[in-house]
Amino acid sequence: MANQAHRGKTVFHYPYKWLTFLLLITGAWQHSAFAHEQPITLIRLDAAPEQMAMTLHVPLLELESAFGHDVATNPETSLPQWQAEFREYLLQHIRLTTPDGQFWRVQVNEMHIESTAQIQSGPFQEVIVTLSLTPPAGASSRKFSLHYDAIMHQVVTHKTLISIRHDWEQGQIDDREVGVIRVNTQTSQIEPLEINLEKGSWWSGFKGMIRLGMQHIREGTDHLLFLLVLLLPATLLSEGKRWGAFGGSGYSLTRLLKIVTAFTFGHSLTLLAGAVGWVQLPQQPVEVLIAFSILVSAIHAIRPVFPGKEIFVAAGFGLVHGLAFATVLSEMKLSVGPMALSLLGFNLGIELMQLFVVFITMPWLILLSLTPIYQWVRVSSALLAALAAMGWIATRVSGASNVIERAMESATEYSPLAILLLALIALPAYFFGSNRGKTISAQIER
């Protein structure tokens, strides 16, 4: 096989070593002559009990120098023309071996083009490739040698950073750098990276998936914003084409419970279907629909659009949100047992974080709904959510960032302060409201 021609170290086939030295000197001069260093290749590994998933981020300009094809000119349209040869190129330059020298099976799956940036290089375009890596029968998937010399076999100044993105058995959910592959300037060789992961357990994997589900919601501002905006009018009675007075404690809690449950039911269905591959949709339309769901909920929070049908809307849009959740698990390429446990843990983490956010938010919304100022709080909050939704829609349709989207990303860091601000508004408004006594009596009677 082409990708099994050499074992161990990769040796440069230059006529003389002085040529390697000359290239290194040239690369150093180029570094000093330009404002940015060249981008590096990123390899992110997802460790599962029976195999590895690899996500490869390859900068196009550097690839063009080694690959020998024009890949940097209109890459989005030219990718179909060179991706078959690129697959073969990768199979020749990626090898994994067991400690006793057996080769893993390397399968190139999908690839697409993205624009990105690195601190040391600035903006550039890259091709992102997903691969499946399977050890020989009976071999461990946690101890192997990674031989990788793409680009570096020609561009000796290039380097590759390797990290473990997820390690299921260890319950690891954040990127952890494990090494760098580069040309050894003393030997003119590219040494393989030895990877030896500690043995974990299914219990660690389950706990890690709970943490991953909680993290996904904590960082997924759009998911939480949809749910919270849908809950804004949940305590109110609808009066024709406007929202009316507070509907009572029992009425409010029942509606809150039904809306959260319906959203959970919807996203759980598509989380299962998407994670196991029954339903697969491109990521872009899913992300656009999620932003659209926020816009619809915001309009409904201002004026009743579907009064009494919030449960069905929550379940329907929950189906869309679940497809986004499923992307996280589908990338791990887990087998049946770990996948079933991961679905349970991940979904549990999502629900715990959702309930926590609802728990710390809704008491203040209920208090505010007992005061005259809730109309202003509800409408202004809904308008801000609608603005954010339109910014996300524009970004996700065009692929270009905008000031609204960037502002939302920055504002996410201050979300705990928003809860504090809500409490600081709700408490004085409730305790010093002129109708407080009447409201309390009315609630006792209900």
Q: State phi, psi for 276 to the nearest 5 degrees.
A: -95, 0
Region at 68 (left for phi over 0; alpha for psi -120 to 50; beta for the rest): left
Average pLDDT over residues 42-67: 92
**Residue 329: per-residue pLDDT:** 81
Average pLDDT over residues 252-270: 89
Can you tell me the distance from the alpha carbon of 225 to that of 212, in angstroms, rounded to the nearest whole number? Answer: 19
Q: Strand, coil or helix: what is 353?
A: helix
Instruction: Please check the confidence at residue 1 and state whether its pLDDT lies above 70.
Output: no
Lowest mean pLDDT among 279-293, 310-324, 376-390, 408-422: 408-422
Residues 160/42, Cβ–Cβ less than 8 Å = yes
**Residue 205: per-residue pLDDT:** 87
**Residue 121: per-residue pLDDT:** 65
Residues 215/173, Cβ–Cβ less than 8 Å = yes
Task: Give the other-Cβ count within 10 Å of 128's Cβ.
Answer: 16
pLDDT tens for each residue of 138-187: 899 899 999 999 999 999 999 999 999 988 888 888 889 999 999 998 88
Model confidence at 433, pLDDT cuts 50, 70, 90, reads low
pLDDT tens for each residue of 274-296: 887 788 778 888 999 999 999 99
Q: How far is CA 65 from CA 90, 154, 214, in A?
A: 15, 7, 43
User: What is the token pair recorded at 329?
Assistant: 């698990």
Instruction: Please check the confidence at residue 97 and state whether its pLDDT lies above 90.
Output: yes
Residues 150/66, Cβ–Cβ less than 8 Å = yes
Instruction: Please check the confidence at residue 36 and state whether its pLDDT lies above 60.
Output: no
Q: When comparing pLDDT for 16 and 304, which is higher?
A: 304
Angle, alpha carbons 264-269-275 (nearest 5°): 115
- Spatial neighbors of 376 by CB under 8 A, at least 6 apart, are none
Model confidence at 51, pLDDT cuts 50, 70, 90, reads confident
Residues 287/389, Cβ–Cβ less than 8 Å = no
Percentage with pLDDT > 70 across the chain? 88
Give how far the C-alpha of residue 305 lies from the chain's centroid of Cα atoms, to the nearest Å: 31
Residue 187: name the closest of 11, 6, 7 by CA: 11
Task: Give the other-Cβ count within 10 Å of 79's Cβ.
Answer: 15
Q: Strand, coil or helix: what is 172?
A: strand
Q: How far is CA 342 from CA 126, 192, 202, 286, in A?
A: 31, 32, 9, 22
Model confidence at 358, pLDDT cuts 50, 70, 90, reads confident
Average pLDDT over residues 268-279: 84
Residues forming beta bridges with residue 124, ordered by sequence position:
116
Model confidence at 44, pLDDT cuts 50, 70, 90, reads very high
176-184 and 159-167 strand pairing = antiparallel
Model confidence at 434, pLDDT cuts 50, 70, 90, reads very low
Angle, alpha carbons 100-103-108 (nearest 5°): 155
Can you tell me the distance from the alpha carbon of 126 to that of 58, in angstroms, rounded to the nearest whole number? Answer: 5
Can you tell me the distance from the alpha carbon of 310 to that of 300, in angstroms, rounded to the nearest whole number? Answer: 9
Lowest mean pLDDT among 266-270, 327-331, 343-347: 327-331
Can you tell me the distance from the alpha carbon of 262 to that of 322, in angstroms, rounded to the nearest whole number? Answer: 12
Residues 202/339, Cβ–Cβ less than 8 Å = no
Can you tell me the distance from the alpha carbon of 417 to that of 410, in angstroms, rounded to the nearest whole number? Answer: 13
Instruction: Please check the confidence at residue 123 and state whether its pLDDT lies above 70.
Output: yes
Average pLDDT over residues 351-366: 88
**Residue 435: per-residue pLDDT:** 52
User: What is the token pair recorded at 411?
Assistant: 């504002």
Rounding to the nearest 10 degrees, give the CA dihedral for residues 128, 129, 130, 134. Answer: -140
Q: Give me the chain's average pLDDT, please.
A: 84
Percentage with pLDDT > 90 across the chain? 37
Residue 107 belongs to what H/E stretch? Answer: strand 105-118
Can you tell me the distance from the alpha carbon of 91 to that of 97, in angstroms, rounded to the nearest whole number? Answer: 14
Can you tell me the distance from the alpha carbon of 37 to that of 124, in angstroms, rounded to the nearest whole number? Answer: 12
Residue 222: name the closest of 39, 412, 432 by CA: 412
| Most confident of the ranges 237-241, 329-333, 435-439 | 237-241
Q: Residue for token digits 């349209």?
A: 77
Instruction: Please check the confidence at residue 265 and state whether its pLDDT lies above 60.
Output: yes
| DSSP letter, residue 103 | B
Can you tell me the distance from the alpha carbon of 420 to that of 150, in angstroms, rounded to the nearest whole number? Answer: 51
Model confidence at 324, pLDDT cuts 50, 70, 90, reads confident
Average pLDDT over residues 92-109: 95
Average pLDDT over residues 379-398: 92
**Residue 185: per-residue pLDDT:** 86
Average pLDDT over residues 395-420: 81
Q: Residue for token digits 């078959």?
A: 84
Q: When comparing pLDDT for 148 and 48, which is higher?
A: 148
Q: Strand, coil or helix: what is 43?
A: strand
Residue 213: name the closest of 91, 345, 389, 405 by CA: 345
Lowest mean pLDDT among 11-20, 29-38, 119-128, 337-346: 11-20
**Residue 437: per-residue pLDDT:** 45
User: What is the token pair recorded at 407?
Assistant: 């502002």
